[in-house]
Amino acid sequence: MTLLQGNADVITFNPDGSIFCRQSMQYAPVAEIRENVLHTILVTAPRTLLLEVKPGPFRPTEFPPWSPQENTQQALDLLKQLSG
């Protein structure tokens, strides 16, 4: 993942869903996330532009059991928690 403009945080998780590490891309604009590491990207500045390169072939996104369904109150609560 390469930050081209703006800013974002890379958040990696432990298998139970607790945060393992949070790193701003502001000072380290390239992040390599190893295979099978649960992660998310939280955009923290307007007009942020990221480039993500992944090995193929394409596979649909898989979600861990602790991850809330999209567009639910639980998803909003997690986003609020991550946004601090």
Count Cα neighbours of 9 within 13 Å in the Cβ-side half-sphere: 14
Q: How many CB atoms lie within 10 A of CB 82?
A: 13
How much of the chain, in percent, has pLDDT values that exceed 70?
Answer: 100
- pLDDT on residue 60: 80
Q: What is the pTM of this model?
A: 0.88
pLDDT at 83 over 80: yes
Q: Tell me how many domains the chain contains.
A: 1
Task: State the residue range of the domain holding 21.
Answer: 2-54+61-83
Rounded Cα distance between 50 and 16, Å, is 27
Burial 57-81 (b: 16+ CB within 10 A, else e): eeeeeeeeeeeeeeeeeeeeebeee
pLDDT for the residue 57: 84
**Residue 54 clears pLDDT 90, i.e. is over it:** no
